Amino acid sequence: DAKTTQPNSMESNEEEPVHLPCNHSTISGTDYIHWYRQLPSQGPEYVIHGLTSNVNNRMASLAIAEDRKSSTLILHRATLRDAAVYYCIPLGSYGGATNKLIFGTGTLLAVQP
């Protein structure tokens, strides 16, 4: 399993963009990069995933480095509701196998009003 490194914590102001980095230098060529977040007292929530190209959805954008050894989750305008722990999880694409998620310690994002 690929090892990930994320900052323990980050702080942002409301309505400003937030860039959450993740290093995954041991990622394999077929691993997707998934991001989940966990709001206080809730279960993890899927945010976004990608393989090589940058990805956008209604929640966030994912920028993946050309060498795939790092990625950045971008929240374009942080809200108080975005305060959560954010997890970067490389995930193998195995034919027929299950995709167990291996959570690290993630980045605790605080959003100030």
Partner 1 sequence: EPEVTQTPSHQVTQMGQEVILRCVPISNHLYFYWYRQILGQKVEFLVSFYNNEISEKSEIFDDQFSVERPDGSNFTLKIRSTKLEDSAMYFCASSEWGGIDNQPQHFGDGTRLSIL
Q: How far apart are CA 2 and CA 7, in angstroms?
A: 17
Q: Which residues of 37-57 are buried (b: 16+ CB within 10 A; e: fewer)?
A: bbeeeeebeebbbbeeeebee
String marking each residue 6-25 x if it binds partner 1 according to CB under 8 A: --------------------
Least distance to partner 1, CB of residue 45, Å: 7
12 or 62: CB nearest partner 1 = 62
Residue 42 is a binding residue for partner 1 (CB under 8 A): yes
Enumerate binding residues for partner 1 (CB under 8 A): 32, 34, 38, 41-46, 49, 87, 91, 93-105
